[in-house]
Amino acid sequence: MSTRMDYTQIAAKLDYAALEKKLEQLTQREPPRKRKTAADVLEPLRERLLALRRKGWKTGELAEELKAAGVPVSPACLRECLSRWTTGGDAATKSRTRRRQKSAPSNTQPTITTGQVGRSNDSQTGQRVTTR
């Protein structure tokens, strides 16, 4: 069983001025990155790769050349980097957004398809009634 933290005591002991100074120093630095991404490695080659793509080179061909030079990158990953660089944003997020479905006019009746055929009991006679 864990003990509960008493934040009242912590707040009384805390040096807010020193903490504020430390947080201000952090805003002046870049956050640490645990590992580089393919886009980080390819960034110095960005303009050259974009120019080759515009000339008609396929991402699979460019990926093979990069692999031969020691940069193991898949065509899909390279395509993602190129797309992100050309759109100026996060293309992966944009591709995951769903389209909004067009809403039906409010005065229309829903259509009944064959999948909606059902049976129920008539409350007065007890006989089965098929609806379509």
What's the CA gap between 62 and 49, in Å, rounded?
8
What pLDDT is attached to residue 44? Answer: 94
Q: Are 70 and 105 in contact (CB under 8 A)?
A: no
What pLDDT is attached to residue 1? Answer: 63
Tell which residue, 111, 57, 53, has the closest CA to residue 82: 53
What's the CA gap between 37 and 47, in Å, rounded?
18
Collect the ranges in the chain with pLDDT lower than 70: 1, 89-132
What pLDDT is attached to residue 34? Answer: 78
What pLDDT is attached to residue 35? Answer: 84
Q: Are 121 and 110 in contact (CB under 8 A)?
A: no
What pLDDT is attached to residue 42? Answer: 94
What pLDDT is attached to residue 91? Answer: 45
What pLDDT is attached to residue 77? Answer: 95
